Amino acid sequence: MHKNWNRSACSPVEYLTIFNNLLTVINGLAEVAMRRVPASDRVHEYLTSILKAGSQARDLTRQLLAFSRKQVFQPRSVDINVVIRDLEKMLRRLIGEDIKMETVLHPGIATVRADPGQIEQILVNLIVNARDAIQEKSGAAAEKRITIETKPWRLDSSYVADHSESRVGPHVMIAISDSGVGMTEAVRSKIFEPFFTTKELGRGTGLGLATVYGIIKQNGGTIQVYSEPGRGASFKIFWPVTGETASPPEGEADSEASLRGNETILLVEDHDGVRGFAGNALREYGYSVLEARDGIEALERLDESNTSVALAVTDLIMPRMNGNELADRMASLYPEIRVLFASGYTDSYVIESGAVKEGVNFLQKPYSRQELAKSVRQLLDQ
């Protein structure tokens, strides 16, 4: 087994396999030795520490193996809802009793080609991260909740144009949202890097999300992350549905014209990139757009505007004044303005958490130019 040890031609996977075998010996013998030494003995304590470190090392090699994408990969036709249901019990055990976990599984999702083991690995990594993020948020009164959702989702060409790694067509969206500490933009931009972790030494390897990313890439999917410091996080995976026969036409040509309009729209969004994208999209569809970075600025724009605003598209979580407060203020000051909330958090998650009321108009990010235009037009025509 160790015959390749001195050769440099070993692949990373082979090294890992050898390393795993060495660990098996170390852990196995530590266990045997532990049984021979009375618990009162100091040596028993040493052996316990060896075993603990040994099993952490074993977990690490497992992640590394998966990360090098060479783990035996056996894709087959899979119903993701079934995988999630089968895993639910284990996941609940993983997160503990004080955290509420709910599943909102869309009954009509297509089967996908996937290795169920890989889907499990993704779910476990994301759920453990969510648990850690919730536990990190101090205050016993804080809400502790994880939501797992599935939904059919079509990525269209305008979305793909803005997200070059994704593909046009039917997908299954899998979303994991939590009420944890959330993260800053600086952290968010690094989370998929191997070995990036904010956890203390010995608690995180920083390979969880790198593994998740590797698996999703391998399967031609994409992942999007939404988070605000102190406001939880939402991870959305778009898993391609392959082998779909007679995929419904996108019908972009005929609907494009029907999505146009010339009304004035107030766009409230604190993220410069998103605001720029959405603003341009709405202008391309013929609308006049007033832009604001938060609720306070939005009220200023409305106050100084001399054209009447037909609709406000607002983000939910923003500094100074959030989307809900803005909507309340507008309801009394400008009752004629319709409101469309947009958020990276999923609709059932924000409604369940009480962030918005049921029945509000809600657009989930990431949205494409066309989805934005469609929601806007629908609401204006109501």
Q: Which residues bind Mg ion (CB under 5 A)?
A: 129, 208
C-alpha dist (Å) from residue 276 to 85, 231, 283: 40, 23, 11
If one asks whether residue 265 binds ligand ATP (CB under 6 A), the answer comes out as no
Which range in 39-47, 154-162, 174-182, 247-255 contacts ligand ATP by CB under 6 A? 174-182
**What mask of x and - would describe binding to ligand ATP in positions 71 to 110, judged by CB under 6 A?**
----------------------------------------
Query: Which one of 127, 148, 233, 267 is in contact with ligand ATP (CB under 6 A)?
Result: 233
Site for ligand ATP in 181-220 (CB under 6 A): 181-183, 187, 191, 196-199, 204-210
Query: Which one of 133, 173, 326, 372 is in contact with ligand ATP (CB under 6 A)?
Result: 133
Q: Which is nearer to Mg ion, 81 or 211 (CB)?
A: 211
Question: Residue 93: which H helix or E strand, with range?
Answer: helix 80-95
Minimum distance of ligand ATP from residue 194's CB (angstroms) = 8
If one asks whether residue 268 binds ligand ATP (CB under 6 A), the answer comes out as no
If one asks whether residue 116 binds ligand ATP (CB under 6 A), the answer comes out as no
Beta bridge partners of 196: none
**What are the CB-based long-range contacts (under 8 Å, 24+) for 322-326?**
322/294, 322/295, 323/268, 323/295, 324/355, 324/356, 325/295, 326/268, 326/295, 326/298, 326/299
Q: Position 42: which residue type? A: R
Question: Could you tell me where the beta strands, DSSP code E, fall in 228-354?
Answer: 233-240, 264-268, 288-292, 311-315, 338-343
Cα separation, 187 vs 374, in Å, equals 33
Minimum distance of Mg ion from residue 267's CB (angstroms) = 35
Phi and psi at residue 169, to the nearest 5°? 135, -175
Which range in 2-10, 110-118, 124-132, 333-341 contacts ligand ATP by CB under 6 A? 124-132
Phi and psi at residue 367, to the nearest 5°? -110, 155
Q: In what order do the strands lie in the sheet with 338-343?
A: 288-292, 264-268, 311-315, 338-343, 362-364
Q: Which is nearer to Mg ion, 71 or 364 (CB)?
A: 71
Which residues of this chain interact with ligand ATP, rule CB under 6 A?
A: 125, 129-130, 133, 178, 180-183, 187, 191, 196-199, 204-210, 233
